[in-house]
Chains A and B, each alone.
Chain A
């Protein structure tokens, strides 16, 4: 089966006055049809940059400096701006964090929905309106016929995000890229939106790339998860395995630092320091200055992703060529 999205050795650079900074380096992954891939990382890890690169929204002084991105086998990273515009919305839908800025406050929801549907289909008139109502009810908006005529500010935060989901699906895309879709919402509403996304993915057979810093969201909705650190993927695999038995020391630390309800520990697992800024990346493995298990090769060379059991890990500890100290 051909993956919906295939990213190989993607590299994005930002040219600043002092130096050229590498935001993401050698990022590779696939997303299968209907699959939900979670991309998790803290701020500065490069997950939003990855999403932006895929939908062609990297603006100068940033640029895609290497690698390739394929949508259903066809390269999209080399397309012109106009061609990319056609792909956005039709084949790739987008959901961003802040529904207030995703929706145009001056136009009614119905108008925005119908415009999007009309751009990507042949429906017109009554059929168009019916489709819009259908989409709204599918995302769980009660009394959709009357709500078509409301403006965005007349909806609550959770409702707005549902409308944004409806807009993302209006073009019947094969892939939806969602960047922190639940971060701005209340906890109880988050749970609703997460459940909705899961349901929509199954129903529409749409693949989702879910970018977030919230591991909890990933655990609920993703099939596979990629953990990013300092612009690289350090671990990628089935969500159950990565969450319950993380292999990479950073993933272990990340899971350990999350306070959980079932916890009886006194202190949260804490690792000194923070993610290095782009310009101050250490040589070798980017995590080694903070890693409690760093040894000889970590300072010298960057490890590549290697399959180890069911997950792929980028860590010398799992590389057969090296004898890791116990």
Chain B
């Protein structure tokens, strides 16, 4: 037999000309995913809620933001299956006559949107700073890490309140929606970047001394390119795990902020705002206004957490 055939790589597993799709279908990751019923269920939940949120303008029976379509006479109706219920408003209405189901759909949109954006922002900032700190070392490393340390002493909510409060002071209470959203994303993102930075810095320190990085330095590749093309792909695994679990936390944080009144306003409520508004009517017996959004939020957060758990275990090389 000639040398090349004897040197053939990986004779078990896929044949040489297997396509990328085959590789994914055959992968350990997919098998571990399908093997856990709980994870599959969690994934389905997340996908359904996300799809519903994205398609809200299409599938929502009413538009809760259209002031003209609201009818005050329809306000405070209970869910359809109860006495006095109306099948036009499946889950009931709130005090303004807004359909609870539609509010939940649009609210999920905002909750998810803010959650994803703030996590993306935190990850980008944290990973970027972590890479720089880990690779450069020295004074830059010390500076970034001390800033991170200081920030960790503040709870996320406080930071978010601070930023939000400043935004209110600067731009007034009734500012435009994009500004509100932007401010929220900034606030939540800024409160979460530190964990990414710390993790990535540690991983970068490890990767930096590996020979493949030395080989790249040897041929004169610019440090930024080394960080981006060589180091980053190798630190992404744990980052993804943190990001998934972080997403749940970000959504809760936004809900908390909205509940406290410094998040999204009632005119464009997120799930948190809906819970707050509905809370006022809870003891009056009109439970549906707060319970349904609350259940949706809880389900979403639990499902995301379960997915994050699975991802962490699946990506852990030691558990394979």
Chain A residues packing against B (C-beta within 8 Å)? 17-19, 272-274, 276-277, 279-280, 289-290
B11 contacts chain A at the CB level, 8 A cutoff: yes
Query: Please, which residues of chain A bring their CB within 8 A of the CB of B1?
Result: 272-273, 289-290
Contact A273/B6 with A18-B12, A279-B11, A280-B12 known, Cβ cut-off 8 Å: yes
A69–B1 alpha-carbon span in the complex (Å): 38
A280–B12 alpha-carbon span in the complex (Å): 6
Let me know if A17 and B11 touch, CB within 8 A. Answer: no
User: Which are the 8 A-B pairs with shortest beta-carbon distances?
Assistant: A273-B6, A279-B12, A280-B11, A272-B3, A272-B6, A289-B1, A280-B12, A17-B31
B17 contacts chain A at the CB level, 8 A cutoff: no
Contact A289/B12 with A272-B1, A273-B1 known, Cβ cut-off 8 Å: no
Query: Which residue of A is nearest B4, CB measured?
Result: A272
Let me know if A273 and B3 touch, CB within 8 A. Answer: yes
- Greatest chain B CB density within 10 A among A18, A273, A290 is at A273
What 8 additional pairs, Cβ within 8 angstroms, besides A273-B7, A289-B1, A289-B6?
A: A272-B2, A272-B3, A273-B3, A273-B6, A274-B6, A274-B7, A277-B12, A290-B1
Let me know if A290 and B6 touch, CB within 8 A. Answer: yes
Query: Which residue of B is nearest A17, CB measured?
Result: B31
A274–B13 alpha-carbon span in the complex (Å): 18
Query: Which residue of A is nearest B28, CB measured?
Result: A17
Query: Please, which residues of chain B bring their CB within 8 A of the CB of A18?
Result: 12-13
Query: Please, which residues of chain A bring their CB within 8 A of the CB of B31?
Result: 17
Instruction: Scan B1-44; emit 1 where CB is below 8 A from any A CB, else 0.
Output: 11100110001110000000000000010010000000000000
How far in angstroms is the closest Cβ of chain A from B12? 4
A18–B27 alpha-carbon span in the complex (Å): 11
A-B contact count (CB 8 A): 27
A279–B10 alpha-carbon span in the complex (Å): 10
How far in angstroms is the closest Cβ of chain A from B181? 45
- Greatest chain A CB density within 10 A among B1, B2, B12 is at B12
A235–B180 alpha-carbon span in the complex (Å): 77
A279–B28 alpha-carbon span in the complex (Å): 17
How far in angstroms is the closest Cβ of chain B from A68? 30
Query: Please, which residues of chain A bring their CB within 8 A of the CB of B11?
Result: 276-277, 279-280
How far in angstroms is the closest Cβ of chain A from B4? 9
Query: Which residue of A is nearest B7, CB measured?
Result: A273
A273–B1 alpha-carbon span in the complex (Å): 9
A14–B20 alpha-carbon span in the complex (Å): 28
- Give 7 A-B contacts (CB < 8 Å), ordered by A residue: A272-B1, A272-B3, A272-B6, A273-B1, A273-B7, A280-B11, A289-B6
How far in angstroms is the closest Cβ of chain B from A273? 3
Query: Please, which residues of chain A bring their CB within 8 A of the CB of B3?
Result: 272-273
Query: Which residues 267-306 in B have Cβ within 8 Å of A in the complex?
Result: none
Query: Please, which residues of chain B bring their CB within 8 A of the CB of A272?
Result: 1-3, 6-7
Query: Please, which residues of chain A bring their CB within 8 A of the CB of B28?
Result: 17
Query: Please, which residues of chain A bring their CB within 8 A of the CB of B6?
Result: 272-274, 289-290
A152–B1 alpha-carbon span in the complex (Å): 51
How far in angstroms is the closest Cβ of chain A from B33? 13
Query: Please, which residues of chain B bring their CB within 8 A of the CB of A276?
Result: 11
Instruction: Scan B107-140; emit 1 where CB is below 8 A from any A CB, else 0.
Output: 0000000000000000000000000000000000
How far in angstroms is the closest Cβ of chain A from B22? 14
Query: Which residue of B is nearest A279, CB measured?
Result: B12
A206–B209 alpha-carbon span in the complex (Å): 43
How far in angstroms is the closest Cβ of chain B from A119? 30
Query: Which residues 40-99 in B have Cβ within 8 Å of A in the complex?
Result: none
How far in angstroms is the closest Cβ of chain A from B8? 9
Query: Which residue of B is nearest A18, CB measured?
Result: B12
A290–B2 alpha-carbon span in the complex (Å): 10
A19–B11 alpha-carbon span in the complex (Å): 13
Query: Please, which residues of chain B bring their CB within 8 A of the CB of A280?
Result: 11-12
Query: Please, which residues of chain A bring their CB within 8 A of the CB of B7?
Result: 272-274
Query: Please, which residues of chain B bring their CB within 8 A of the CB of A290?
Result: 1, 6
